[in-house]
């Protein structure tokens, strides 16, 4: 099953901290790690790791990071025909802070990701046409996201939009044209102006989006599980209890694995369950893409947790 990811890539610069420094303070962090990240790239690598045939449409910069990012995609078996370099611009980078509970805060500097334009979708048209699903996030210009949604509609290809990072500039009208809308609890709260701290609140907030015309709203709630909210009802997928060391990239792990499973079977709740296991295993290791498990590991985990 061929899946297209039209989106971002970043270089993750992760500091493992004991606490956030206050203004003007210099604080030592015990550990640091660098790796390939970016929401689009993470989702592409997660889908490919779970067995999907992935086509990546993204832009890298004119720096040392670019070749490493391309080589990383290729190592994961991802088609890099439409991964292009932008002269005179840096690659996207993301300083990440992970606290002792494994919770993360992320800054992004989009760099070359800002240069991904509708023309890049046109350039990839022949290959995109044969894809069974298009995945989008919001680390590239909104005009490109909207163009990709229209492309999906025109070619009858389902579109999954991960509204991350959340922005109120996102047109809900455009998002309604997507088949899946997949925010996490923070993004859902920003987009709806509603509190999202419990499963009940998440359902209410997701319901408000469904009332505005969004189709399949899937909310990822980290350690609380995930919710599918549609016009016909709500399905809750329970979480797998694990010892979380680093939650960064877990939402992307869920989305990539979900996309792979859904494209193969069309079974949404089952794809959510497998994605939940994939994401749960990812938080037991450090890093974003580096923490993603192999398919065999996920299947064994699912067998043992029945
Ligand atoms: O979702 C996690 C990702 O967000 C990180 O890999 C970072 O690069 C940012 O894009």
87, part of any domain: yes
25, part of any domain: no
Q: Which protein residues touch ligand 1 with a CB less than 6 Å away?
A: 10, 12, 37-39, 42, 94, 106, 108, 139, 248-249, 251-252, 288
- Let me know: does 252 contact 290? Beta carbons within 8 Å: no
Strand partners, 67: none
CA distance 196 to 188: 7
Q: Which residues are catalytic?
A: 252
Helix and strand counts by DSSP (H, E) for the chain: 11, 13
pLDDT tens for each residue of 198-218: 999 999 999 999 999 999 999
- Ligand 1 center to 37 CA (angstroms): 5
155, part of any domain: yes
CA distance 271 to 254: 9
pLDDT tens for each residue of 255-273: 999 999 999 999 999 999 9
Between the alpha carbon of residue 204 and those of residues 6, 138, 176, 220, 227, the distances in Å are 30, 24, 18, 14, 11
Task: Give the chain's domain count.
Answer: 1
- Which residue range is the domain that position 186 belongs to? 2-20+30-304
pLDDT number for residue 255:
98
- CATH (domain of 94): 3.40.1190.20
Between the alpha carbon of residue 160 and those of residues 3, 95, 112, the distances in Å are 11, 26, 23
Average pLDDT for the chain: 97
Helix (H, G, I), strand (E, B) or coil at 233: strand
Region 167-187 average pLDDT: 97
146, part of any domain: yes
136, part of any domain: yes
Q: Is the pLDDT of residue 1 over 90?
A: no
- Let me know: does 282 contact 250? Beta carbons within 8 Å: yes
Helix (H, G, I), strand (E, B) or coil at 191: helix
Atom number in ligand 1 closest to CA 288: 6
């Amino acid at each position: 099953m061929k899946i297209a990811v039209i989106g971002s890539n970043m270089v993750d610069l992760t500091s493992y901290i004991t606490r956030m420094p206050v203004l003007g303070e210099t604080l030592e962090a015990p550990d640091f790690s660098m790796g390939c990240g970016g929401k689009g790239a993470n989702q592409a690598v997660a889908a490919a790791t779970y067995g999907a045939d992935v086509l990546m449409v993204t832009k890298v910069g004119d720096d040392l990071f670019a070749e490493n990012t391309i080589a990383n995609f290729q190592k994961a078996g991802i088609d890099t025909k439409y991964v292009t370099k932008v002269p005179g611009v840096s690659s996207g980078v993301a300083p990440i802070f992970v606290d002792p509970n494994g919770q993360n805060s992320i800054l992004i500097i989009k760099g070359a990701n800002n240069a991904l334009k509708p023309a890049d979708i046109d350039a990839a048209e022949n290959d995109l046409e044969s894809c069974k699903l298009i995945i989008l996030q919001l680390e590239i210009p909104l005009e490109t996201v909207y163009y990709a949604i229209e492309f999906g509609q025109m070619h009858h290809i389902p579109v999954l939009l991960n509204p991350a990072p959340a922005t109120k500039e996102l047109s809900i009208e455009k998002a309604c044209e997507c088949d899946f809308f997949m925010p996490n609890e923070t993004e859902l709260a920003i987009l709806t102006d509603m509190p999202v701290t419990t499963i009940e609140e998440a359902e209410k907030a997701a319901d408000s989006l469904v009332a505005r015309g969004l189709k399949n709203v899937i909310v990822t709630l980290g350690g609380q599980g995930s919710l599918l909210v549609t016009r016909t009802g709500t399905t809750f997928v329970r979480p797998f209890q694990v010892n979380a060391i680093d939650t960064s990239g877990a939402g992307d792990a869920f989305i990539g694995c979900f996309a792979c499973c859904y494209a193969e079977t069309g079974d949404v709740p089952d794809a959510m369950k497998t994605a939940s296991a994939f994401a749960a295993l990812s938080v037991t290791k450090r890093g974003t893409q580096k923490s993603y498990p192999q398919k065999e590991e996920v299947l064994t985990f699912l067998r043992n947790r029945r």
